[in-house]
Structure 1
Amino acid sequence: MHREMTADMPCPARLRAGTDLAAHALRVRLGLDSASPAGRFFALAAPFALAAGAVAGGLHLTRWYAGLVLSPAPLWVQPSAMDGSWSLSILLSLLVCVGAVIALTGRWGPGVGVAGCGLLGTAVQWAAGAHVSDDGAIAPVVALLTVAVVLACPPDRRGDRRLSAAAGAMAAAGWFPVVVVNTGTYTGAFGVTTDYGAWPMLVLAFTGAVLALRARSSGLREMGAMAVASPPLVAYSYATAWGDLWPVLGTVLLLSVVAALTASFQAVRHRR
């Protein structure tokens, strides 16, 4: 039947139809269709995985820009002094941020394509031996995990407006305060720092709790989705903690603590 339906189509259209059919069959086989629990789970996690990647990429960009501005060297000299690996890293982070913004503002397909190029480029760059960030060996793993979570979202559940808006708000709330505080720290305006990357993870956990409260669920599904979306923020925490695992573990525990508090609150709420 598929061959008969595509007989009059041009070759590119037939190839695309065949690819879509094979992808759908694979999703059904893996239990990732929109009717399955796993499909609904990844539909919830995908926008927040993109948002978490955008937060990590945005903080990487702002850290680079802060160094650019605060350096005593003239601005027009510094870009020419950057090596190719560092310039490529900045470009890839920019692609992730721009792609996430495009996807979360209504154009899911093109946005995911742009962000995916940035994430896959990061993995390839690290595999090629250009270790320009402080994320260590987890950088390519995090990039590939983020791509996998986003692609696992069923096609008919992509670009949900409510979830995209929540993910966009989470990204803004996780990124902007860190930039403000870090800028104040660099200039001496504030006496506090945002080391160890706890704030973005706290915002992600709080977002999961809000979604659970609105859905009147136990919070396990929502917090599980936030955990699946969190690898970019874990990598950022690892980088800001200079490879010290204890602050990173503490940051990860934030999700567990918020999940437990949400479940307890919902249990008390249902008893009433």
Structure 2
Amino acid sequence: MNDRMLRLYPAGYRSAYGEEIVDVHREMTADLPRAARLRADADLAAHALRVRLGLDSASRGGRFFAVAAPFTLAATAVSNGLVLTRWYAGLVISPAPAWTQLSHTDLPVALHLMFSLSVCVGAIVALTGRWVLGVAAAVCGLLGTAVQGVLDAPLAQGGGMTSAVTLLAAAVVLACPVDRRPGKGLSGAAAAVAGIGWFPVVVADTGAFGVTTDYGVWPMLVLAVAGAALALRRQSSGAREIGAVAVASTPLAVAALAGAGPDLWPLIGMLLVLSLSAALGTCAIAARRRR
């Protein structure tokens, strides 16, 4: 380990823990082959960057993103899952044979569906215990969608805004500290949010309940309730949990705005009510905590 790598840490952190970092790193990499040593160096550099950005597991930012990451995966799974199910519904409803439709699918559309599938599969894999593998697949899908949002705005609804929030979602997921990856409880809660947020919208799209649209607010409502429930269970002030689900809901909010077309006022009103409810919920949780 050279001094240049140690300088990646902030000066205060380096002066307090620098010798310990050097000794532990030297001991861990002493007998490793070159490839493994390079991986260890990369891990150390990543940790130094997290400390410098305030995203290590001991910082407030790290604890915040540890909560936001699984719910962001859930939100992206919902939005991309709706893309896939609505495409499949169109495939089934069309009078043309399915194979004919598939064989005439444009390459950009096929790529868009593949990116959405990658996000959904990645989220499922990550939230069921294979975090690194799942995050890799989900982030690849998110980055692909972000590129399409710039190059082919009509395909990825929202265009540049979709690209921005998709990149934000990828950054939130990657910002989760390595030693604060969600456990079974938090992953299970995020997976439940994804299922509850996705399935009723799919049922509503079929017209089974005589409902044509929820203006895209239902999944965000599910996220807000999940954040409040998590804060109550942890007996915290609620600011971190509700803030985390607010960040996680940005892909859903942009998708709702892009799909609303000219009829924006009902959606804006619902978003304002949802935001006010979340703020009141945070205040109520804080008041209960002070009792």
Same-fold status (TM-score > 0.5): yes
Larger Rg: 2
Query: What does residue range 135-214 of structure 1 map to in structure 2 within 5 Å?
Result: 135-183=158-206, 185=207, 189-214=208-233
SS state at 1:197 partner: coil
Q: Structure 2 vs 1, CA of residues 213 and 38 (structure 1 numbering), >3 Å: closer, same or farther?
A: same
Tell me what 2:246 maps to: 227
- Superimposed CA distance per residue, residues 170-204 of structure 1 (whole angstroms, 9 cap, x where no aligned partner): 00000000001111x2xxx4321224201111111
TM-superposed CA distance for 1:28, in Å, is 0.8
Larger relative contact order (Cα-Cα within 8 Å, sequence gap ≥ 6): 1
Q: Structure 2 vs 1, CA of residues 83 and 130 (structure 1 numbering), >3 Å: closer, same or farther?
A: farther
**Is the 8 Å Cα contact of residues 107 and 159 (structure 1) preserved in structure 2?**
no
**Is the 8 Å Cα contact of residues 201 and 230 (structure 1) preserved in structure 2?**
yes
Tell me what 1:77 maps to: 100
Of 271, 275, 278, the residue aligned with 1:259 is 278
**Once superposed, what is the RMSD of the aligned Cα atoms?**
2.0
Q: Structure 2 vs 1, CA of residues 102 and 254 (structure 1 numbering), >3 Å: closer, same or farther?
A: farther
Moved more, 132-141 or 199-208: 132-141
**Is the 8 Å Cα contact of residues 149 and 156 (structure 2) preserved in structure 1?**
no
Looking at structure 1, the residues matched to 48 and 289 of structure 2 have their Cα atoms a distance apart, in angstroms, of 40
Moved more, 261-270 or 6-15: 261-270
**TM-score normalized by the length of structure 2:** 0.86
Looking at structure 1, the residues matched to 282 and 174 of structure 2 have their Cα atoms a distance apart, in angstroms, of 29
**Is the 8 Å Cα contact of residues 39 and 152 (structure 1) preserved in structure 2?**
yes
Looking at structure 2, the residues matched to 88 and 228 of structure 1 have their Cα atoms a distance apart, in angstroms, of 27
**Is the 8 Å Cα contact of residues 152 and 159 (structure 2) preserved in structure 1?**
no
Does 2:84 match 1:61? yes
Tell me what 1:113 maps to: 136
- Superimposed CA distance per residue, residues 191-245 of structure 1 (whole angstroms, 9 cap, x where no aligned partner): 2122420111111111111111212223221110011111211122123212655
Looking at structure 2, the residues matched to 45 and 66 of structure 1 have their Cα atoms a distance apart, in angstroms, of 31
Q: Structure 2 vs 1, CA of residues 106 and 4 (structure 1 numbering), >3 Å: closer, same or farther?
A: closer
**Is the 8 Å Cα contact of residues 102 and 111 (structure 1) preserved in structure 2?**
yes
Q: Structure 2 vs 1, CA of residues 233 and 254 (structure 1 numbering), >3 Å: closer, same or farther?
A: farther
Of 120, 123, 132, the residue aligned with 1:100 is 123
**TM-score normalized by the length of structure 1:** 0.91
Tell me what 1:12 maps to: 35
Looking at structure 2, the residues matched to 118 and 16 of structure 1 have their Cα atoms a distance apart, in angstroms, of 24
Structure 1 counterpart of 2:279, one-letter code: A
Of 59, 62, 84, the residue aligned with 1:36 is 59
Paired residues, what number?
A: 268
Tell me what 1:125 maps to: 148
Moved more, 215-224 or 251-260: 251-260
SS state at 1:32 partner: coil
Moved more, 77-86 or 127-136: 127-136
**Is the 8 Å Cα contact of residues 237 and 289 (structure 2) preserved in structure 1?**
no
Unpaired runs of 5+ residues, structure 1, are none
